[in-house]
Amino acid sequence: MNRLSKATVLSHKSVGRGYYRIVLNAPEIASAARPGQFVMLRVSENLDPLLARPFGISDVPTKSSVEILYRVVGRGTTMLTGRKAGEQLGVLGPLGRGFPLPEKNTTLVMVAGGSGFPPLHFLSRQVGCSSHLFLGSRDRACLPPAGILKNFRSSCTRVHIATEDGSMGTKGMTTDILNVFVTKLEKKFNIVLCACGPHSMLAAVSRIATVHAIPCYVSMEERMACGLGACMGCSIPMKRGGYKRACKEGPVFDAQEIDWSERVALPFPQMNKRLNTRER
């Protein structure tokens, strides 16, 4: 297949809470895409911005279309909001390695933080097994848009929400309610964790998975120039030394592979303390 193409924008709308939903006519991408994979979109054909932007695929609404949910965070995404239905966008994809699709008798536990939910949205709509979604944010306003929450509620067995200020769901961290949930589970086999969100959250999810010996897959974010493994910009530090490319060997990695220590300074001190006690 030709992964480099021009795709017509079928629809492009604000969906609330600072998010936009863009649907592209891209039959080849739609038929090949797997949850966790991404595309590089050119927000403009000019030299500035020079590089395309990576976006996780959030759904394949029809056989021939691809949906991207994105939050406006900078210059590239601001420019993207100006692209209208009927216009053409340069698109490269699908790229990278996605989540392993869980088998029927598995319980899929998804964890999303910040604006990390789009790949999990795609995943939740593709799986046939029971699934739980753990969503976390600072406050109610930072949660995914209402329409997306509704989709998750219809595709998942249950949606668990935690906000730091308690304005929706449980007051606290997603990883706190995740930890309680996983601890209470009687049978810890046939569970798979899939997470996407801030680095600190992924590190915490990975620790929970380690403690309970649950397989865990994380979707990593890093700035990238090409999306094809040539620029070596999107390096993720590995436990056994060296780096792997988020665009090629990732963005989804087995959480056990990743060296979580390289970047973070205790994002959830209270939680690390608790986990450390448990490990001992």
Partner 1 sequence: MKKIPIKVKPNLNINFAGIKLKNPVLTASGTFGYGEELAEFVDLNLLGGVIVKGISLTPIKGNPPPRIWETPSGMLNAIGLENPGVDVFLTEKLPYLRKFDTAVIVNIFGYSLDEYVKVTECLEGVQGISAIEVNISCPNVKAGGMAFGTDVHATSELLSAVRKATNLPIIAKLSPNVTDVTEFAKAAQDAGCNGLSLINTLLGMAIDVRCRRPRLANCTGGLSGPAIRPIAVRMVWQAAKAVSLPIIGMGGIMTGDDALEFILAGASAIAVGTANFANPRATLDVLEGLENLLIEQRVGTIQDLIGKVNVR
Joined tokens for residue 156:
């998942």
Minimum Å gap between C-beta 235 and partner 1 is: 5
Q: Which of left, alpha, beta for 67 (phi over 0: left; psi -120 to 50: alpha)?
A: beta
Q: Which is nearer to partner 1, 242 or 269 (CB)?
A: 242
3-state secondary structure of 58: coil
Q: Tell me the closest approach of the beta carbon of residue 42 to partner 1, in angstroms.
A: 8
Would you say 135 or 203 has its CB closer to partner 1? 203
Nearer to partner 1 (CB atom), residue 97 or residue 132: 97
Site of interaction with partner 1 (CB under 8 A) = 3-4, 42, 47-52, 90, 92, 222-226, 228-237, 241-243, 262-263
For residue 184, CA distances in Å to 5, 129, 273, 275 come to 48, 20, 20, 15
Handedness of CA 163, 169, 170, 174 (dihedral sign): negative
In degrees to the nearest 10, what's the CA dihedral of 11, 12, 14, 20?
Answer: 120
Q: Give min distance, CB of 158 to partner 1, in A.
A: 35
Question: By the 8 A CB rule, do 220 and 250 touch?
Answer: yes
Q: With contact defined as beta carbons under 8 Å apart, do 38 and 88 qualify? A: no
Buried b (16+ CB within 10 A) or exposed e, 172-198: bbbbbbbbeebeeeeeeeebbbbbbbb
Minimum CB separation of residue 280 from partner 1 in Å reads 30
Q: Smallest gap, in angstroms, from Cβ of residue 52 to partner 1?
A: 7
Q: Are 199 and 263 in contact (CB under 8 A)?
A: yes
Quote the least distance from Cβ 228 to partner 1, whole Å: 6
